[in-house]
């Protein structure tokens, strides 16, 4: 019998694409952000349902599972309050309503009882009560649960990103596959984006509208010329440094206004990666921030992944949010392969 997944909080389809590449059919994706529909559907040939997960009923998802299928319920609930890249984590993340979405995920698991559950999220979530409640509910329902913090380059994602991956099964013990790469052969920035056409700041590539970079101010052009791959703003001459950098409090943020390094994985791709001053998002060689396409590739989206066309234009901020919030595709593929191997190990005769 085939394994069929429903993707909650699907966004533009990073997890769905990865599962599809692993041979798992995703019957539908649910998300509250309508602007994700075009990219999700055109790249995955899967239906996008714009609906608030908190209002979702079990029958809303069960209708997409074929009869006699192994049901998988997967997703990445938005939990920016628990991310170290969010100021809300340090200040008042516990007040943010987004963490409650995990309780909606838990409810849908309890009501639909799929054979397989997978949840991907930020590592800091393991320290929160909501995560303990999620895991304990799975165990009480008879699931075998495994979770771990994953270093994404070990699974083919060319960026220094760590993610929490949970797998659960009613069929038996389930495990994430062992790392595919190890230190010394991690995918690098050069391997990922080294062959893309040269563009200047503020320019859009003629052959790929997503390969476009933000324009730089006159002073930022001077700054990036003095930026060293892997270096910091400390490499600049004194006149180019910001006032905040000269304060003691500013000395703890060395990665802003930095360049990536060709032969290492990139820094974590955030939702603001298109801005030179938002992190170490300067191109290793060209005097500009990385382009939207480069950010997507570093998130391990295929180079031909479609994000917009003439009928579906999108703003830079919207696109970068979609890309930065996505589950890295290659991590999604590793999760899919893990599920497939688990089913085979437990005697499930999988069909296409």
Tell me which residues are annotated as active site: 79
Among residues 195, 188, 203, 143, the alpha carbon closest in space to that of 169 is found at 143
DSSP string, 12-79: TSHHHHHHHHTT-EEEEEEES-GGGHHHHHHHH--EEEE--GGG--HHHHHTTSPTT-EEEEEE----
Among residues 194, 189, 192, the alpha carbon closest in space to that of 264 is found at 189
CB-based contacts of 243, cutoff 8 Å, min separation 6: none
Residue 342: phi and psi, rounded to 5, are -60, -45
Joined together, the tokens standing for residue 171 give 């069929």
C-alpha–C-alpha distance, residues 169 and 115, integer Å: 6
C-alpha–C-alpha distance, residues 236 and 220, integer Å: 11
Strands (E) located in 171-207? 204-205
3-state DSSP call for residue 166? strand
β-bridge mates for residue 120, sequence order: 165
Residue 160: phi and psi, rounded to 5, are -75, 75
User: Per-residue b/e over 278-305, b at no fewer than 16 CB within 10 Å?
Assistant: bbbbbbbebbbbbbbbbbbbbbbbeeeb
């Amino acid at each position: 019998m085939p394994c069929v997944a429903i993707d909650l909080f699907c966004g533009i389809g990073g997890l769905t694409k990865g599962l599809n590449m692993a041979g798992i059919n995703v019957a539908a994706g649910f998300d509250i952000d309508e602007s994700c529909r075009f990219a999700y559907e055109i790249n995955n040939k899967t239906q996008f349902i714009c609906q608030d997960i908190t209002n979702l009923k079990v029958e809303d998802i069960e209708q997409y599972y074929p009869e006699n299928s192994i049901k998988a319920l997967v997703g990445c609930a938005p939990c920016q309050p628990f991310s170290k890249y969010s100021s809300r984590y340090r200040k008042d993340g516990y007040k943010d309503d987004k963490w409650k979405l995990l309780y909606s995920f838990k409810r849908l698991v309890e009501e639909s009882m799929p054979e397989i559950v997978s949840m991907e999220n930020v590592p800091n979530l393991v320290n929160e009560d909501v995560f303990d409640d999620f895991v304990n509910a799975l165990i009480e329902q008879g699931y075998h649960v495994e979770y771990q913090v994953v270093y994404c380059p070990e699974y083919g994602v060319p960026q220094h990103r760590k993610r929490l991956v949970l797998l659960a099964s009613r069929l038996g013990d389930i495990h994430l596959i062992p790392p595919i790469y190890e230190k010394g052969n991690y995918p690098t920035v050069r391997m990922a984006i080294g062959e893309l056409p040269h563009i200047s700041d503020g320019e859009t590539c003629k052959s790929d509208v997503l390969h476009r970079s933000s324009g730089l101010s006159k002073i930022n052009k001077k700054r990036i010329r003095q930026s060293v791959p892997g270096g910091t703003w400390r490499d600049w001459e004194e006149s180019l440094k910001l006032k905040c950098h000269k304060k003691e409090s500013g000395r703890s943020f060395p990665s802003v206004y930095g360049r990536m390094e060709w032969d290492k994985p990139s820094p974590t791709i955030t939702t603001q990666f298109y801005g030179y001053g938002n992190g170490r998002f300067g191109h290793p060689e060209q005097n500009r921030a990385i382009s939207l396409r480069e950010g997507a590739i570093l998130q391990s989206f295929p180079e031909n992944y479609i994000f917009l066309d003439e009928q579906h234009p999108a703003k830079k901020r919207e696109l970068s949010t979609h890309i930065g919030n996505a589950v890295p595709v290659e991590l999604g593929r590793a999760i899919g392969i893990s599920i497939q191997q688990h089913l085979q190990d437990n005697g499930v005769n999988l069909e296409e």
